[in-house]
Homo-oligomer: A and B are copies of this chain.
Amino acid sequence: MTTDTYHHGDLKNALIQAGVDILARDGIGALSLRSVARKAGVSHSAPYAHFPDKQALIAAISTEGFHRLYTQLEAAAQPLASNPQKQIVACARAYLNFAVQERDIFNIMFSGVLEQEKAYPDFVEISKATSTLLADIVSECQKAGIFPNGQTDLFAVAIWGQLHGIVSLALEKQISHTVLDQYQLDDILLFALNQFALVELT
């Protein structure tokens, strides 16, 4: 519906998509309400019909980012159903891949959107769904004897935290070259995951 009518038709989503594109192409520094409006072909104030302020647009872009992350995690786990051991490893790799390939979206997703706790219910919903997806796999791993039983929530948050931390440090180039020359990021992730496991994850 991107005709040349006065009313765009689906400007809200067009703005979110424009934001995603700008993040991917030109990085976080180029993301402004005005650049997003330009890319969507509307005036600089048009976004205010759909977002109360810039923070709300960022929340919407972050929400879209979480949808993509969720989809990629699901796509990684789906074909390995009934094999949680492989699922948890595949999800870790998918998480890393997403962060590396959609760097700026990943960064914006974890850069303070949840300050105003309940202001963005869609964001809360999909971010919870994402952590639940991981927690469910962890739970399956426990049933399969791959992780010790009990304290599922603790295991899930610890594993997600570990995964998120290693990926974040890597994106920030905080992992020294003496380590990166020896190991792939993938190795580090697996090594860390294996601290939790009763059987060896590969």
Instruction: Using CB atoms and an 8 Å cutoff, list the residues of chain A in contact with chain B.
Output: 28, 107, 110-115, 117, 127-128, 131, 151, 153-154, 157-158, 160-169, 172-176, 178-179, 182-183, 187-188, 191-192, 195-196
Closest-CB distance, A187 to chain B (whole angstroms): 8
Q: Which of B128, B151, B162, B173 contacts A162 (CB 8 A)?
A: B162
Assess A192 versus B162: contact at CB under 8 Å? Given A153-B179, A157-B175, A174-B131.
yes
Contact A114 B157 (CB under 8 A): no
Rounded to whole angstroms, the CA-CA distance of A158 and B159 in the bound complex is: 11
Contact B179 A154 (CB under 8 A): yes
Contact A166 B168 (CB under 8 A): no
Residue in chain B with minimal CB distance to A113: B172
Contact A182 B168 (CB under 8 A): no
Closest-CB distance, A118 to chain B (whole angstroms): 11
Residue in chain B with minimal CB distance to A187: B154
Contact A176 B110 (CB under 8 A): no
Chain B hits for A151, CB < 8 A:
191
Residue in chain B with minimal CB distance to A103: B112
Contact B161 A188 (CB under 8 A): yes
Rounded to whole angstroms, the CA-CA distance of A175 and B127 in the bound complex is: 10
Assess A158 versus B162: contact at CB under 8 Å? Given A111-B111, A112-B172, A168-B168.
yes
Residue in chain B with minimal CB distance to A111: B111
